[in-house]
Chain A
Amino acid sequence: EIVLTQSPGTLSLSPGERATLSCRASQSVSNSYLAWYQQKPGQTPRLLIYGASSRATGIPDRFSGSGSGTDFTLTISRLEPEDFAIYYCQQRTNWPPERAFGQGTKLEIK
Chain B
Amino acid sequence: QLQLQESGSGLVKPSQTLSLTCTLSGGSISHGGYSWAWIRQSPGKGLEWLGSITHTGNTYYKSSLKSRVSISVDWSENQFSLTVTSVTGADTAVYYCAREGVVENWFDPWGPGISVTVSS
Contact = CB atoms under 8 A, between A and B. Distances in A.
Given A44-B96, A50-B101, A88 B108 contact: no
A20 to B, nearest CB: 20
Interface residues of B, number: 22
A90 B46 contact: no
Interface in B8-63: 37, 46-49, 52, 60, 62-63
Interface string A37-81: 101000011110011001010000000000000000000000000
B89 interface: no
Contact of A103 (B46, B49, B63, B100): B46
Nearest to B108: A47
A36 to B, nearest CB: 10
Contacts of A17: none
Nearest to A101: B47
A83 B46 CA distance: 18
Nearest to A45: B110
B49 A101 contact: yes
A104 B105 CA distance: 18
- Determine chain B's interface SS by DSSP, over half rule: strand
Interface string B77-120: 00000000000000000001000110111111011110000000
A88 B106 contact: no
Contacts of A103: 46
A56 B106 contact: yes
Interface of B: 37, 46-49, 52, 60, 62-63, 96, 100-101, 103-108, 110-113
Interface of A: 1, 32-35, 37, 39, 44-47, 50-51, 54, 56, 88, 90-92, 96-104
